[in-house]
Each structure stands twice: as C-alpha cells, then as structure tokens.
C-alpha cells in the first residue's frame, strides 16, 4: 500500500481541475496582453477566474492579484508595504513559514526595519497581550502572522489580530496559505490588508497563487515588466494555473462541510489509534478541533535508536509524511517551529497531513507501521 499523508506540503490535483486546465491549454493559446481576438479570449478566461475567486471570498475582483504562489505573495505584501509606507517596525513570531520569517529577517539585517517577535505559548498560541504591547511602538508597525501554522496546525484568531491592528493603525498581513479553501474567508469583514493563497494546497496546480490587497492600501509592484495584473505584477500570466486555481477553490467551497467532517474524523481517529498503540506518544500544537487546523497532526514519538531514520523507514513502508525534531543546537537542521515551542530535540517528530482523498484504512496501515518501527528501535 502507498499512503500520501503530506498534504500540507502539496496536494494531488483534482481531476476536475485537470479537465478545466486542459480545456484552456487545448483551446486558448493567445497571449492575454495581445489585443487581437486570440488574446482577448484568454484575457476573458483570466478575468472570469478572478471574478470566481473574488465571489467566493466576498471581495472585489480588483483586489485579487495572481502570483507564482504563496512565497511571492508573502514577499510582495511584506516588502512593498514596508517600502511604500516607510514602515520601520515589523511584528511576527518565531514559528512563521520561512517565506515570512526569512524575508523579515533579511530586512532587519539590512537595517530597514526593527523586528519584534510576539511571545507564543507551548502549543503555539500567540500572546495577544504581548502583541498589543508591541503594537504600542512609536513607529507604525507591519504585523505578519499566519492563520494556521503549517507544522503544528495551531490557529490564530484573525479577527482579534485585525481589531488590534486597526486600533494601533498597523498594517496586517495574514499568511492564509494553509487555511485557504479549508475554511471560509469573508474578506468583506476581515480587517486584514493582505491575505495569501496557493493553489497546490487545495488540489490545484503548483506554481500559481494570489495576493489579496485590500482597497484601503496601495502598493507598488515588486516585479516590474509589462502591465499585467493592472500594473501590479509584470510577467505573462500563468493562464492554465489561474484557471486551475479558480476551479480548485470553487470545488473546495462547494464541498467544504463534508470534507471538513471527513478529514477531522480521520485526524481524531489517528490520534486515538496512536495513543492506544504507542505508549508515550505526544501531539504538538493545539489538538482540540476549535483551535487546530483539521488537516494537520504533528506527533512526537518516544526516544528511539536511529530516530533520524523514522521518516526514511516510513517511506520504505510506502508512507509519505514530513517532519523533523526540534533543533538541539543552533547549528542543527531541524524544525524551527518545534524548537520555538520547546519540544524535546531527542524525540523524533512527524507531521501527518490529510486530504479528502485519505481513508480510514490508510490510517490503520500507517499506525501499524509506525508501531512496528517504534518497537524495533525502542
């Protein structure tokens, strides 16, 4: 049996998405910037996709800009808002995705900004009182916080963060890559200046994403070239990817309730089976459904010989997952997230992440294989 449990990294493409993309590949090949009929046809395809996405997210199509993915969108939001608004102070956490963390650290190292880190609790929750203290910096702040952590799944209350940012006139960038299409986002109400999506996280193609820029904020491009994306992002659009993105998001919204229930049931079942079969197993991050991303389960296993071979052993058994223990020193390559929440560096950790295609039988198989590996290496 082959089991894919690394859906937080990327997801398999939905067949309906492939069908929609192939239809455009076959029938619409003009350059969308060309003024002739072939180009206008493709421009219409892009704008239809933009309108679909905006409708699902309850926002204006004029606020949706297509990118190469989440990393470019995060970089654009951070770098352009800091440059265009003269931001001298940024706030984030030590458990952000590297697309955010490394970008802000590079700006700090260049002397562009002062960077502050919000305190986090053992399960990855943000200390909101400390966030408010940091927002009282005399300089206007950029706040960059992810909605759900990609490694441990802990959710952040975006409404509360948005309220605090509004109170202190801060710019709010929410990295929603892991939650886009898994939870409904009503951007007509959310007080975020930027949110981000990447198609391959919800059964769309790789290499395409989008940045939502709220109408209350104006930024200049990060990538210059042609006048694409209403002069906001130079470069010929990834037409097939954009169509796939819109179709994947549409499917996700139409099927969201049943998929949430199915995947949450799988996660809860796996937690119960791991506890029943492997003494001493622990879960990292929030574990209750209300505060935890239902697609992600991060597990620390008991100390064992050859702990660094756990993922390899799972791969040999046909199980794809990801992970890595906390760093035991500043030079170790490990999980910066697990290190930040104080997880033991001596215990191997694995992130299992689920999708609508996973089954209970796959969970049973995985738990049995993990149990065997733990017994052999105990």
Give the whole-angstrom CA distance, residue 294 versus residue 319.
20
Set 80, 165, 327, 374: catalytic member: 327
Residues 6+ apart with CB under 8 A from 261: none
- List the structure tokens of 14: 């939905």
State yes or no: pLDDT of 332 exceeds 60. Answer: no
Quick: pLDDT tens for 106-120: 999 999 999 999 999
| pLDDT on residue 195 | 98
Query: pLDDT band at residue 305, thresholds of 50, 70 and 90?
Result: low
Strands (E), 155-312: 171-175, 194-198, 209-213, 282-284, 296-300
Give the whole-angstrom CA distance, residue 32 versus residue 54.
20
Query: pLDDT band at residue 306, thresholds of 50, 70 and 90?
Result: low
State yes or no: pLDDT of 328 exceeds 70. Answer: no
Q: Is 109 helix (H, G, I), strand (E, B) or coil?
A: helix
- Entry pTM: 0.94
Nearest one of 238, 234, 297, 291 to 265, comparing CA atoms: 297
What percent of the chain shows pLDDT beyond 70?
A: 97
| pLDDT on residue 376 | 76
State yes or no: pLDDT of 246 exceeds 50. Answer: yes
| pLDDT on residue 331 | 47
State yes or no: pLDDT of 329 exceeds 60. Answer: no
| pLDDT on residue 180 | 98
| pLDDT on residue 334 | 82
What integer is the mean pLDDT of 171-192? 97
Q: Which residue has the higher pLDDT, 326 or 66?
A: 66
| pLDDT on residue 303 | 85
State yes or no: pLDDT of 125 exceeds 60. Answer: yes
Mean pLDDT, the chain, as a whole number? 95
Nearest one of 276, 261, 260 to 367, comparing CA atoms: 276
- The verdict on whether 327 is a catalytic residue reads yes
Our measurement of the distance from residue 71's CA atom to the centroid of its chain's CA atoms, rounded to an integer in Å, reads 10
Query: pLDDT band at residue 327, thresholds of 50, 70 and 90?
Result: low
| pLDDT on residue 102 | 97
Give the whole-angstrom CA distance, residue 39 versus residue 33.
6
What integer is the mean pLDDT of 240-253? 98
Task: Sketch out the chain's domains with CATH numbers.
Answer: 3-10+256-377 (3.90.1150.10), 15-251 (3.40.640.10)
CA distances from 258 to 20, 356, 373 (A): 23, 9, 33
| pLDDT on residue 256 | 97
| pLDDT on residue 370 | 95
């Amino acid at each position: 049996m082959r089991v894919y449990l690394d859906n937080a990294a990327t997801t398999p493409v939905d067949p309906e998405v492939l069908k929609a993309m192939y239809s455009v590949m076959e029938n619409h090949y003009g350059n969308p910037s060309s003024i002739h009929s072939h180009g206008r046809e493709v421009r219409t395809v892009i704008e239809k996709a933009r309108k679909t996405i905006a409708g699902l997210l309850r926002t204006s199509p004029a606020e949706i800009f297509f990118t190469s993915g989440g990393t470019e969108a995060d970089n654009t939001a951070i770098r352009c808002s800091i440059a265009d608004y003269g931001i001298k102070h940024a706030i984030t956490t030590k458990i952000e995705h590297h697309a955010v963390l490394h970008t802000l650290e590079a700006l700090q190292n260049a002397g562009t900004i002062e960077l502050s880190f919000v305190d986090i609790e053992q399960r990855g929750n943000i200390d909101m009182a400390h966030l408010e203290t940091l927002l009282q910096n005399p300089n206007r702040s950029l706040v960059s916080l992810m909605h759900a952590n990609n490694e441990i799944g802990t959710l952040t209350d975006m409404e509360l963060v948005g309220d605090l940012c509004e109170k202190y006139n801060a710019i709010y960038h929410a990295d929603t890559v892991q939650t886009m299409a898994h939870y409904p986002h009503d951007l007509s109400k959310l007080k975020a200046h930027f949110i981000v999506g990447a198609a391959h996280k919800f059964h769309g193609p790789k290499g395409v994403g989008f940045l939502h820029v709220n109408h209350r904020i104006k930024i200049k491009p990060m990538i210059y070239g042609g006048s694409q994306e209403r002069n906001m992002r130079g470069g010929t659009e990834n037409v097939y990817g954009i169509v796939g993105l819109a179709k994947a998001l549409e499917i996700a919204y139409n099927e969201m309730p049943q998929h949430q229930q199915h995947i949450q049931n799988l996660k809860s079942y796996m937690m119960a089976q791991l506890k029943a079969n492997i003494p001493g197993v622990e879960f990292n991050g929030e574990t209750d459904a209300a505060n935890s991303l239902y697609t992600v389960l991060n597990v620390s296993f008991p100390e064992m010989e050859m702990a660094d071979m756990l993922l390899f052993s799972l791969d040999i058994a046909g199980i794809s997952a990801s992970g890595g223990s906390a760093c035991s020193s500043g030079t170790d390559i490990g999980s910066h997230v697990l290190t930040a929440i104080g997880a033991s560096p001596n215990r191997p950790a694995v992130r299992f992440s689920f999708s609508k295609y996973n089954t209970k039988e796959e969970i049973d198989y995985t738990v049995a294989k993990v149990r065997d590996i733990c017994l052999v290496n105990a």
